[in-house]
Structure 1
Amino acid sequence: MSWVPRFGWLLAALIVAGCTTQGPLSKKEAEKEQEQEKPLDVASVVRQKIPASVKDRDGWAQDLATTFESQKIAPTLENICSVLAVAQQESNYQSDPVVPGLSKIAWKEIDKRAARLHVPALLVHTALKIPSPNGKSYSERLDRVRTEKELSAIFDDMIGTVPMGQTLFGSYNPVHTGGPMQVSVAFAEQHTEGYPWEINGTVRQEVFSRRGGLWFGTYHLLNYPASYRAPIYRFADFNAGLYASRNAAFQNAVSKATSVKLALDGDLILYGSSEAGSTEKAVRKLGAQLSMSDRDIRRQLERGDSQKFEETTLYREVYRLAEKKSGKTLVREMLPGIQLESPKITRNLTTAWFAKRVDDRRATCMTQH
C-alpha cells in the first residue's frame, strides 16, 4: 500500500485493512505495518541501509532524497528499500558496473550488423583502426571496453566519425540500458519532465550517471499507479514492462475462459503492428459472449499499458466468464513467464527469478538495522 504519491500515504495507511482478504491484524502486525507506512527522511535511511563499502554513500543518499522529493514518491521504508534492492541486484550499487566479456559482445554486435547489411567484416574492422576523438583507435577502445557507459560512448563516436558509421549504425546504439538500476534509455528519453538536475549532455549520458540512473529507475519502478498487493509484482513490471504482472493474470483468465493455452508474458497485443497476436485472437473467440466486435476488443486491449484497462468492460467481463467457467475467483496479478534474453546473461533466468531475487533483497533491507 505504500506505492502511492506522498500526499496519499496517510489515506493508504487508514484503508489498508479494507484492501485485504485476511482477518484483522494483530497488534504487532498493525504496528509493523504502520512503521512501514511512516514517512521517513530518505537520505538518513539510505545512509543507514546502504553498505559501508559503497563509494560516496552520502552522494547516493542525497540523489535518492532528491529523486523522491521531485517525483513526490511516498518516503516509506518499503519504497526506499525497493529502490535500493533493484540497485543492488542490477549493479551492486555501482553507477557504471563492469560487464564481463563486454568486448566480445560488442564485436559480435558489430559483425552481426555488418552481415545484415552485406558489408565484409574485414572492411569494417579495418575502418575501425582509425583514431577516435580520444586519440585511441576504435579497435583499441572496443578491445578494452568494460562498461556500458564506455561502449555507448564508443558507438556514439563511431556513428558520427567512422567511414560507413552512418551506413552501419544510423542512430542505432546497441546499449539499451544503463546506470545503477539498468533502466531503459528509451524509457528515460520519454520521461524527462520534472527531472531536477540540468542535463548538460544527452539523456542517454545522464542515464549512466548515479543521479540519472536512480531518478529514471525510480520513476520506472514506483511512479505509476497499480493495484498490486505486494512489491514483488512491481519488480516483475520493472523487468518485463508496465502492468506485465496484471496483464499476465488477465491472460490467464482469457485462457481459462477460452481453453486456449497462452504464454503468460503480459503482452496483450502486438505493439507496432495491426496484426492480432495470440492473446487478441483468443479474446476474439469470446466476442459473441462479450457483445464486442474485433475492433472494440482491440481498442480496449490497447489500454493494457494503463491502470485504466481494469475499468474496461473487456477486463471485467473476461474475468466474469473465466470465473464462472472455472468455479473460483482468479488472481488479478501473476509473475509473468518470461525467459530473460540478453548478450550479458549467461544463465537460464526468468522475470520471476528476477522479481523474487529483488524482493528478497527488499525484505532484508527492511529488517536490517
Structure 2
Amino acid sequence: MTRIHSAPFAGRLRRLLLALPLAVLAGCSLFEGEPEGPALPPDLARGANGRTLTAWPTSLDESAVRNRAARLLPARVKDRAGWTGDLYTAFAHLGIPHAAPTYCAAIAIIEQESSFQADPAVPGLAAIVQRELEERTGRYGIPKLVVSTALLKTSPDGRSYQQRIDALKTEKELNALYEDMTAELPFGKTLLAGHNPVRTGGPMQVSVAFAEQQAKDRGYPYPVEHDLRNEVFTRRGGVYFGVAILLDYPVGYDNVVYRFADFNAGRHSSRNAAFQAALGRVADRKLSLDGDLLRYDKGDAALDTSEVEDAALAIRDRLEMTRSQIRRDLLLEKSPAFARSTLYARVFALADKAAGGPVARQAMPRIDLKSPKIRRKLTTEWFARRVEGRYRSCLARDRGAA
C-alpha cells in the first residue's frame, strides 16, 4: 500500500499518539506542543474518573481563548460571540483562570437560570405585581379606587401603568416599571420606595445588593449607562456579576457541586453547613444545616442568639472560649476568615475526635427555595445537582471538540 504521509508527518503522528493517553488522563483538550496551564482550585480541578483538569496556557491570546470558550456553549445558543465576549471580559477583569472548568461552571449556571436569555421571562409576573400592590395598599390604608385610578395615568413610555403591569414579561421591565411608579405616582414614594420586589436579575439571576457591593470592592469593567442596578439586567452586567459571585472567592471544597450550592444559598454556605453538622455532633444537638450561623435582621447580625450560637455556648468550657469570643468568630461566617477562626478549628477538632477521624468540611445546605417565581417545591440540593449535570455536559463538549 502506498504511504501518503511524509516522514516528518509520521513522526508528528507518533508523538501525537504517544501524548494522547496523557491528555486523556489530564481530562483536557489536546493541542500538540501546548504547555500546561496553571493549577485550578481542587473543586474545579477534579474531572471525571480521577482526571486532573488544568487551566489553558497563559500564552493564548484573547482570540484563541474566545474560540475555545465558544465551543463550550450549548449548540442552541445564539450570538455565541457575544456571550463568550462577555464571559471573557468578566474572567479577564477578575483575574480568573481561563479554563474549561471555569467557563463551564459559569455556562452551567447561565443555562440553568435563564437558558441563555439576557432578560429571561418570568411566568405570571403581572399577577405577582398585582398581589404585591394590593398587599402594600392594604398595609398603608390607601383606598383601592385611588390606586386603580392612579394606574390609569400615562407613564413615561406612553402606556398607562396598568397596561404595563398587564404586559409584564421580564424582571427588567418590572424594575423599570417600579422606578417610574415610585417617581411619578402620587403615592409612589410612600408605597414603593425601597420596596422594589426585584432583588435578582439578569442571565445568572444575581442579587442587586451583591452587584452594588462587588462594584465597590472590585470595580466594574464597563461604563455605567444609567445606574448599577440596571446593569444587572443587561447581558454583560449579569454575566460579570454572576461570574464574580460564583468564582471570585476562595473555597476549600473538593467537589464543584458545593460551589453551585453556594451560588444558590450564599457564599460559604456549604462550609457553614458542615460546621453546623460538626457542632451538632459535639453538642449532641440537632441543628439545621442551612449554612446560616447567626440570625439576621435586614442584613445585619441580630442580637438574639441563633441555635448555632446557643449550641456553641453550651460547650464553651470544652471549647475554652468565652461568649464574646464565640460571637466574634461567628460574625465571620460570610467570609473566608471563618475557616481560620479559633471556633471553627476547635469545633472540628472535637468532632474529629468524637468520630475517630476527620469529618466532612463541606455539606449540602438543606434549604427549601421560596420565591414568588417558584411554583413547585425545590431545594438548594436540587439546584446544585441540576447545575452539576449541565457542568459535566459542558466538559464533555470540550473533550468532544478536541
- Deviation of residue 29 (structure 1)? 6.1
Alignment of 1:1-369 (within 5 A): 12=39, 32-34=51-53, 36-39=54-57, 41-192=64-215, 193-271=218-296, 272=300, 273-368=302-397, 369=400
What is the rounded CA distance, in whole Å, between the counterparts of 1:256 and 1:349 in structure 2?
A: 27
What is the rounded CA distance, in whole Å, between the counterparts of 2:141 and 2:210 in structure 1?
A: 31
TM-superposition CA deviations, 1:288-321 (whole Å, max 9, x none): 1112111110110111111111111110111112
Question: Is residue 149–residue 178 contact of structure 1 (8 Å, CA) maintained in 2?
Answer: yes
TM-superposition CA deviations, 1:328-360 (whole Å, max 9, x none): 421000110000000110111000100010011
What is the rounded CA distance, in whole Å, between the counterparts of 2:388 and 2:145 in structure 1?
A: 47
Quick one: percent identity of the two aligned structures? 44
Matched residue SS, 1:303: coil
Question: Is residue 253–residue 330 contact of structure 1 (8 Å, CA) maintained in 2?
Answer: yes
Indicate the larger mover: 270-279 or 181-190: 270-279
- Deviation of residue 274 (structure 1)? 1.4
What is the rounded CA distance, in whole Å, between the counterparts of 1:325 and 1:52 in structure 2?
A: 51
What is the rounded CA distance, in whole Å, between the counterparts of 1:253 and 1:196 in structure 2?
A: 41
Letter of the 1:38 partner, please give it: W
- From the CA coordinates, give the structure whose radius of gyration is larger: 2
What is the rounded CA distance, in whole Å, between the counterparts of 1:116 and 1:356 in structure 2?
A: 40
Question: Is residue 159–residue 171 contact of structure 1 (8 Å, CA) maintained in 2?
Answer: no
RMSD, matched Cα = 2.0
What is the rounded CA distance, in whole Å, between the counterparts of 1:86 and 1:122 in structure 2?
A: 43
Letter of the 2:225 partner, please give it: N
Question: Is residue 236–residue 351 contact of structure 1 (8 Å, CA) maintained in 2?
Answer: yes
- Judged with a 3 Å threshold, the aligned counterparts in structure 2 of structure 1 residues 121 and 256 are, in CA distance, closer, same or farther, namely farther
Matched residue SS, 2:71: helix
- Deviation of residue 231 (structure 1)? 1.1
What is the rounded CA distance, in whole Å, between the counterparts of 2:49 and 2:353 in structure 1?
A: 35
Indicate the larger mover: 319-328 or 298-307: 319-328
What is the rounded CA distance, in whole Å, between the counterparts of 1:191 and 1:232 in structure 2?
A: 23
Q: TM-score, normalised by structure 2?
A: 0.83
**Which residue pairs with 2:30 in the alignment?**
none
Question: Is residue 38–residue 56 contact of structure 2 (8 Å, CA) maintained in 1?
Answer: no
Question: Is residue 74–residue 394 contact of structure 2 (8 Å, CA) maintained in 1?
Answer: no
Question: Is residue 71–residue 194 contact of structure 1 (8 Å, CA) maintained in 2?
Answer: no
- Unaligned ranges ≥5, structure 2: 1-35
Question: Is residue 248–residue 265 contact of structure 1 (8 Å, CA) maintained in 2?
Answer: yes
Question: Is residue 42–residue 64 contact of structure 1 (8 Å, CA) maintained in 2?
Answer: no
- Deviation of residue 121 (structure 1)? 3.1
**Which residue pairs with 2:20 in the alignment?**
none
- Judged with a 3 Å threshold, the aligned counterparts in structure 2 of structure 1 residues 11 and 74 are, in CA distance, closer, same or farther, namely closer
Letter of the 2:133 partner, please give it: I
Tell me which stretches of 4 or more aligned residues in structure 1 moved more than 6 Å: none
Matched residue SS, 2:66: helix
TM-superposition CA deviations, 1:119-177 (whole Å, max 9, x none): 23332222211111011111000011000000010001011111100010123210011
Question: Is residue 38–residue 55 contact of structure 2 (8 Å, CA) maintained in 1?
Answer: no
Matched residue SS, 2:97: coil
Q: TM-score, normalised by structure 1?
A: 0.90
Question: Is residue 46–residue 60 contact of structure 1 (8 Å, CA) maintained in 2?
Answer: no
